[in-house]
Structure 1
C-alpha cells in the first residue's frame, strides 16, 4: 500500500473529518453518570474493573481490538443516559460486548450467546442478555456506529506514516500494523481509566500518538500541531491529557511493555535451573489470582480485577511434566489481527521483532552450554 500522495492525504482528511463530526454528535452523552457511592450508583472503580474483565473476554474469545473499543464506548454511552445500579453492571457490560461483537466481527467469529453467557461467568442467562440488549438499543436510539478512540488512533497513525515516510525507516523491523498494535495496547489500557473519560476519544488517541512520536521524530511537534488543527482541538487540553496518559502508563498497575514478552505467574510456577542453562517449570499448589478453577477462565469482577498472567514457554532441553503444565506463547497476532487490514498487509511475520521499542531483557536467553539467562526476574503484567 502506498502511504503518501495527494489521494492518500485527501482520503485520510475525509476520514478524520467524518470521525470528528460523528464524535461531536455523541460527546455530550458520552460521560457516564457515575458516583463514588457504590451502594447507590456505579462507582469509577467498578466501571474500570468491568472493562478489564471485558478485556479478558476479548482474549478468551479471540476478538478484534475494535470490538473491545466499541464495547467500552457503548458501555459509557449507556451509563451516561441511564443511572444504573451496580448489580446490573455485569449484564450491561456483557450485553454491550455482545452488541459490539455483532457489529464488528465476521459472522463466523461472533460468539454464540449461550456459550458467551456460560464461559464469561457473567451471572446472566441468554434471555437476560437479550432483554438488556433491547434496553441498550432503545436508549442509544439503535445507533451503534460511533467513532471510537481506536478509530482516531488508526487515522492519526496513518496520517503520521503518510506525512512522515521516514517513520518506516526508523521503525525498521516493525511493520505499520505492528507499530499501531503497540499503541492500541496502550489505548485500551487508558480506556479502562475513568479519570481519562474527561477527554474525547480523539484527544486521548492524539495524546498517545504524540507521546510515541516524541520518541521517534525530531520534528514531532510540527506534525502534532498539524493534527491538532485538522481535528480542531485545544492545545492546552492536549497537554493536560498527555500528562495524565503518561502518568497512567507509567504506574505499576498499568505499565505497558511496548513489545511482546513471555511472563509467568509466580504463584503458579517455579523456575528451576536445568541442564544447559535452561529452565523448567514446576507447578505450585497455590492457585493464581484472577482466574477461576475451571480451565483458568477469567472471573467476573467483584472487588478488584487481577492482572492477566501469561506463562513462560518451556525452552528446548526441558521435559514437560504434563499437558496441563504445557506453557503457551502469548499470541502477538491478537494485537494487530485486524489492524493489519488497515494497511492491506495480508501476512505478518511469525515472530514480531520489537527490540527497538525497548525490551525487558537486555539480551536473549543464551543456549550455550554452561550459560544462564541474563534476563531480570520476570514480573506479571496486565495485558489488555
Structure 2
C-alpha cells in the first residue's frame, strides 16, 4: 500500500510541524548513496550529480508543459533522489527512471487529466516502451518500500510561510510572496547540493534569505523574529542555517545570470501525434522553462 502524508491543513501549527518532522528523517535520501553519486566521474558509464540535475530540469519542463502543481514536481524530485541514493543505475536508464518518478508523483498527487504513459513517452521523445515503464515503476516502488508521499521542502515552506503570516498585519502580509518563494525552491531543486539538506532546513533557509532581502521594509524586524522562532522550534544551529542560506543565495544568484536563466540547457523537443495533440488541453502548449522569480516582493 502506498504510504501517504495525511492531510493536516486543519490541525494546529505545532501538530502539523511535529507530524512532518517525524517523517522527514525516514524519507531523507541516503547520504552514502548521494556521496557516491557526487564523487562519480562523468565518463558516460556512471550516474553523476550533473546528470541528475539535467533530469530534474527535464521533469520541471514536463511539469510546466502539463500544467501540473508544484507538489507534483517536488514529490517527483524526492522520489528520484531517494531512488538514486539506493540504486546504482546506468545513465541510459535515467530518463526512464525520471519519467516513472514523475508519473508516480502525478498519480499520487491526484492531478486532473492524468496523461497516458504512452503519451508521456511520446511527448518526452523517449525510446523505451510502456512495458519498460511498468517494470521500472515496480522496481522504484519496491526499492522505496511503497512509501511514496514524503514530506518535501514545499510542505515545510508553505507551513512556515503560513506561520509567519499569522504574525503580520494585513498590509505586511503582502510583503512575503509565497509564489516567489516556491519559484526559488524550484530553482534549488535543480541543484544537487540541496539533496543532502533536510527539507525543513532548506525551507527555513529560503525563508531566511528572502527576509534578509527585504531589509528596507519596516516589518522586517517582525519577520526576522518569526524566522528565529522557527529556527528554535526546529533546533537548527546558527551555523547550519547560515551555511544553508549561503547555498540558497549562491543558487539564486547563478539562476539570475544570463547563462543560467534557462536551467534546462538541453531543451526538450516535443514531438506529438495528431491524436495526442487533439487530446491535450490548451494549457499543454504553453511550454516554459523554470518560471521567472518575481522581482518585487508584493
TM range (shorter): 0.7 to 0.9
Tell me what 2:14 maps to.
13
CA change 1:187–1:24 in 2 (3 A) is same
Deviations 1:130-167 (A, max 9, x none): 110000000000110210111111111111111x222x
State the Cα distance separating 1:212 from its structure 2 match.
1.5
Contact kept? 1:42, 1:86, Cα under 8 Å: yes
Tell me what 2:99 maps to.
94
Equivalent positions of 1:191-210 (< 5 A) are 191-210=189-208
- 2:50 aligned to 45, 49, 60, which one? 45
Equivalent positions of 1:206-285 (< 5 A) are 206-214=204-212, 215=214, 216=217, 217-251=220-254, 252=257, 253-254=259-260
- 2:109 aligned to 83, 94, 104, which one? 104
Contact kept? 1:75, 1:92, Cα under 8 Å: yes
Tell me what 1:67 maps to.
72
Greater Rg over alpha carbons, structure: 1
Cα separation, 2, equivalents of 1:180 and 1:10: 20
Long gaps (5+) in structure 2: 1-8, 273-284
Cα separation, 1, equivalents of 2:239 and 2:15: 25
CA change 1:289–1:241 in 2 (3 A) is closer
State the Cα distance separating 1:110 from its structure 2 match.
1.6
Segment of structure 1 superposing worse, 193-202 or 137-146? 193-202
**How many residue pairs get matched?**
261
Equivalent positions of 1:342-353 (< 5 A) are none
* SS in structure 1 of the partner of residue 221 of structure 2: coil
Cα separation, 2, equivalents of 1:198 and 1:44: 12
Cα separation, 1, equivalents of 2:115 and 2:179: 23
Contact kept? 1:248, 1:254, Cα under 8 Å: no
State the Cα distance separating 1:330 from its structure 2 match.
8.9
Cα separation, 2, equivalents of 1:15 and 1:110: 29
- 2:144 aligned to 140, 154, 172, which one? 140
* TM-score for both structures, normalised by structure 1: 0.62
Deviations 1:294-346 (A, max 9, x none): 47xxxxxxxxxxxxxxxxxxxxxxxxxxxxxxxx9899xx98xxxxxxxxxxx
Tell me what 1:76 maps to.
81
Matched, 1:128 2:141: no
Structure (1 or 2) with the greater helix fraction = 2
Cα separation, 1, equivalents of 2:58 and 2:286: 21
Aligned-pair Cα RMSD in Å: 2.8
Long gaps (5+) in structure 1: 1-7, 257-287, 296-327, 336-353, 359-384
Matched, 1:290 2:267: yes
Segment of structure 1 superposing worse, 17-26 or 126-135? 17-26
CA change 1:242–1:122 in 2 (3 A) is same
CA change 1:293–1:244 in 2 (3 A) is closer
Tell me what 1:183 maps to.
181
